[in-house]
Amino acid sequence: MTLQIGPRVLATSLLAGSLLIGAFPSTLGGFAAHAQGANISIAVPAYFTDQALWDKVIATKEVGYVVGHPDTPAAGQGYVADKDLVARLDKAKGAGKKTYVYVTAGYDKVDWKVVADKIDSAFVAYPNVDGVFIDEINYDQCDKYKFLANGEGTIKGVKARHPGKLVVLNPGAPILNCYEGLGDGYLNLERADKDVADWVSNVNLPGNVPFYEWMFKPERRSQIWEMVHSVAPSRIKGAVDDALTRNASILYITSDTLPNPYDSLSDDASFQALVDRVDDYNSGKVALPSVLKLTAPTTTAAPVTTTPKVVAKAVVTTKPRRILRKFVTKKKAATKD
């Protein structure tokens, strides 16, 4: 899951690293009131084979979503069911979790017919899952991703061919407004805790606000996912608080680090801190923080489906700027049951 900045990146370091969540009110002019009550869930990218970890995930009621990561098939081949993963995902679903299979789009390095075929084969291999978690998508290629829902045939209409199945889109970066409505979930922030301020700075650039403000709508909150890794154990609860100000309600906050922060769970204390903070909100013990209010847009131009025009002190990137390299588990962890 690559960590990106977005269509307009600061050319100077004036804002980068400076907009910590605690600085929002003075920097951004206050907050917009939260319109919904607490309904916060943990989403675990369970990219491990340790049965004890799976049992822990499944037994944790605050975990509402589980993503299984099968071995990626070779070029030209489809997914083949891993009986152990099938059993684990079935058990998670039986415990009331929403279950997903990881599929990579490879940042459009392959034709979307290939991606659609992989999605189809994932649903054949894992027929009981609730949906697919599509990683490595580009944040600004809306026309390609319309294939998920529209049309017929192998390339188009993935959702039409699999009624009732869910699609989560994960560029790990802010997503342009032309994506709104294409997915059932949107993972728009995935990075190390120390790099989150850059994400905020980019989203809050006045020229970017019109393209990103849809992510902060109250009606979208139930669909916004975030995964933040490399979080200091003492920062776990604060990182949950911060995620809620960014309108997320489906979270994974972990102390685990690169190169793969999803090959295990956090240490016991950090994982429990995540669970406890989610409980604080869902029980009403702690009131939901207000959602980030972006700066007023400086343009009234109609939304576009391509990279926005250049604004002052910003540059356009024709492709997403990758801040950290991708980390995926191409092979299963060595741990055996």
Q: Is pLDDT at 35 greater than 70 in this prediction?
A: no
- Given a contact cutoff of 8 angstroms between Cβ atoms, the answer to whether 250 and 65 are in contact is yes
pLDDT at 40 over 70: yes
CATH number of the CATH domain containing 222: 3.20.20.70
Averaged over 107-113, what is the pLDDT? 79
Is residue 322 included in any domain, yes or no?
no
**Looking at residue 304, what is its pLDDT?**
39
Model pLDDT, residue 189: 97
The confidence band for 33, taking pLDDT boundaries of 50, 70 and 90, is: very low
The answer to whether the beta carbons of residues 39 and 284 sit under 8 Å apart is no
Mean of the pLDDT values across residues 86-101? 98
Whole-number pLDDT of residue 218: 94
> Which residue, among 116, 126, 133, has the nearest Cα to 80 in the 3D structure?
126
pLDDT greater at residue 294 or residue 110: 294
Give the model confidence (pLDDT) of 60-82 as tens digits: 999 999 999 999 888 888 999 99
**Top-confidence residue, 291 or 147:** 291
Q: CA 49 to CA 56: how far, in whole Å?
A: 12
Mean pLDDT to the nearest integer, 191-219: 93
| pLDDT value at residue 151 | 67
Say if residue 325's pLDDT is above 50.
Answer: no
Task: Please indicate, yes or no, if residue 7 is contained in any of the structural domains.
Answer: yes
Q: What pLDDT band is residue 298 in, cutting at 50, 70 and 90?
A: low
Q: Does pLDDT of 274 surpass 80?
A: yes
CB-CB contact of 172 with 187 (8 Å): yes
Domain assignment present for residue 232? The answer is yes
Q: How much is the pLDDT for 231?
A: 98
Beta strands 3-4; 291-292: pairing state: unpaired
Average confidence score pLDDT of the chain: 79
Burial class (CB in 10 A: 0-12, 13-18, 19+), 175: buried
Share of the chain above pLDDT 90, in %: 59
As given in the structure block, the two tokens for residue 16 are 């980068």
Name the pLDDT band for 15 (thresholds 50, 70, 90): very low
Alpha-helix residue ranges (DSSP H) falling in 60-105: 83-94
Mean per-residue pLDDT for 326-336?
Answer: 37
Which of the residue ranges 154-163, 235-244, 298-307 would you say has the lowest mean pLDDT?
298-307
Residue 313 lies in a domain: yes
Look at residue 172 and tell me if it is in a domain.
yes
How many domains is the chain partitioned into structurally? Answer: 1
Domain that holds residue 79: 3-317
In a domain, 248, yes or no: yes
Look at residue 336 and tell me if it is in a domain: no
Q: Is the pLDDT of residue 28 over 60?
A: no
Distance, in Å, from the CA atom of 192 to the CA atom of 43, rounded to the nearest integer, reads: 17
Mean pLDDT within 157-181: 91
pLDDT tens digit sequence for 170-191? 999 999 998 898 889 999 999 9
**Is pLDDT at 154 greater than 90 in this prediction?**
no
- pLDDT at res. 108: 73
Q: How many residues appear in the chain?
A: 337
